[in-house]
Structure 1
Amino acid sequence: MSAYMITYDLNKSGQDYDNVIKAIKDSSISWCSYWKSSYLIKSNLTSNQIFDNIKSYLDSNDRLIIVEAKKTNYQGWLSEEQWKFIKDNIFNYFDI
């Protein structure tokens, strides 16, 4: 099980955001999206498997990156409630 940050830009007008978002959520055990076009997820899948679930909804001019996130190295500006959700639902599986 891993945590991943996924961010994307769909660069052609009329893109199918709904299916991209559904594919991200379907790849997740838990997820949050406190940012435009970005998700922090917990998943049993690898980054390649997650990408495979999403790629059919992307065009060649779109951009997407999936990066593994570690509990031991993160920082940001979020509300206390948002941090609590991330710690309790995304990073809660780490034995650190």
Structure 2
Amino acid sequence: YLDSKRNAFPRFFFISDDELLSILGSRDPCCVQEHMIKMYDNIASLRFDEIGGETVVTAMVSAEGEVMEFRKPVPVEGRVEEWMMKVLL
């Protein structure tokens, strides 16, 4: 099961089984925040916003506090590995 999730989103290979299970078992998309620095070099967090009642990711924030705004917000819908893959694109 965990290998299929890691194959769908390869950056999950950078976190432990327990960390991955905590992400997959949570309904809160913000639970990925504490693991971002392990999955991405120097990316400390994602910025989540509500637009029209929908949760979206609008930016990445570096460990130094630099903000990289996305041109288009990424909807947080479906499986975590699916919307996290869209964050990469």
Taking structure 2 as the reference length, the TM-score comes to 0.27
| Larger-gyration structure (1/2) | 1
Structure with the larger RCO, 1 or 2 (CA within 8 Å, 6+ apart): 1
Bigger helix share = 2
Taking structure 1 as the reference length, the TM-score comes to 0.26
